[in-house]
Structure 1
Amino acid sequence: MANAQNEQQFMQASALAQDLRALLGKLKRRLREQAHVGDLTPSQVSVLLRLEKDGPATASGLARAEGMRPQSIAPVIAALEEAGLIKGLPDPADGRQTILSLTDTCRKWVEEGRAARQDWLTRTLQERLSPQEQEKLTEAVELLRRLVDD
């Protein structure tokens, strides 16, 4: 009897995991739509987010952090520079290297994208969920946090 119950609990957890992955993926796509990422590739977005999070870096440092070969990151950097989203300045410690950082234009674009996503999600929560449902979702978020926090 215990084995059958364990098997049923495992199957329920497995189905829940599948539903969560699908739902969170869909939420992520909807939020991305709100940010108006435009024609940026996932690699370009990843580099911008890394520069925002970790600060200025060299191309080789970015390649390492992104798990890419330096030759593979070069076109990503070139496209972002051409779009005016990153700029490179000589490294004061080693003039042979270039330190890449976000432009003010990019920082503003990132902030506007975050604000758009926040506004959309706030409006959607208010429009589609009752206060009681929002409270249930708050409880669910706490449970999800326990899944990912170390």
Structure 2
Amino acid sequence: MLPCMSEPPTTQLAGDLRIALAKLHRRLREQTRPHDLTSAQQSVLLRLDRDGPATVSALARAEGVKPQSMRMTVASLETMRAVRGDADPNDGRQTLISLTPAFRAELTARRAAKNDWLHRALQAQLSPREHAQLARAVALLQLLADY
């Protein structure tokens, strides 16, 4: 069976999708202070936000880095007052790293700014029919992200 001529080949689709997502990601970053966190810092902060407090060792395993590297990332986040370490109530020898309340509030504000921009862009650029198409595309993107 020949591919439909109106549909791009998978290789082209993959490249177009990557470029579109990267551009959208940059536009969303522009809605908050750009380049204030490294990708490693962002990843750790998002993991702590999503999964809750964790030890440096657990964070290192989850992120696929050496504990020494994770200690440096966590130390930089502590300096920024984004995270703090508290004794594990179940094992006082362990330190649990968690988001500070002030940073959690900042994270919420950043997300709100990005969501506001995206909401306005959706309203201004897309028709109701395109909103429905995008909703279906988001479901497909979630499948790809979970691959």
TM range (shorter): 0.7 to 0.9
- Give % identity: 50
**Partner of residue 61, structure 1:** 58
Residue 9 of structure 1 deviates from its aligned partner by: 9.0
TM (norm. structure 2) is: 0.84
Residue 22 of structure 1 deviates from its aligned partner by: 1.1
RMSD: 2.6
String of CA shifts for 1:37-87, please: whole Å, max 9, x gaps: 542111011111111111111111111111111111111111111111111
- Number of residue pairs the alignment of both structures matches: 147
Q: Quick one: which amino acid aligns to residue 111 of structure 1?
A: T
Q: Quick one: which amino acid aligns to residue 73 of structure 2?
A: V
Residue 96 of structure 1 deviates from its aligned partner by: 2.4
**Partner of residue 128, structure 1:** 125
Residue 130 of structure 1 deviates from its aligned partner by: 3.2
Whichever of the two has the greater Rg, that structure is 1
**Partner of residue 15, structure 1:** 12
Q: In structure 1, which of residues 106, 110, 113 is the aligned counterpart of residue 107 of structure 2?
A: 110
String of CA shifts for 1:14-40, please: whole Å, max 9, x gaps: 212211111112112211222335421
Larger deviation: 91-100 or 38-47?
A: 91-100
Unpaired segments of 5 or more residues in structure 1? none
Larger deviation: 53-62 or 127-136?
A: 127-136
Q: Quick one: which amino acid aligns to residue 125 of structure 1?
A: L
Larger deviation: 116-125 or 85-94?
A: 85-94
Runs of 4+ aligned residues of structure 1 deviating over 6 Å after TM superposition are 7-11
- Tell me which protein shows more helix as a share of its residues: 1
Q: In structure 2, which of residues 78, 83, 101 is the aligned counterpart of residue 81 of structure 1?
A: 78
2:89 is aligned with 1:98: no
Q: Quick one: which amino acid aligns to residue 29 of structure 2?
A: R
Distance 1:64 1:147, change over 3 A: closer
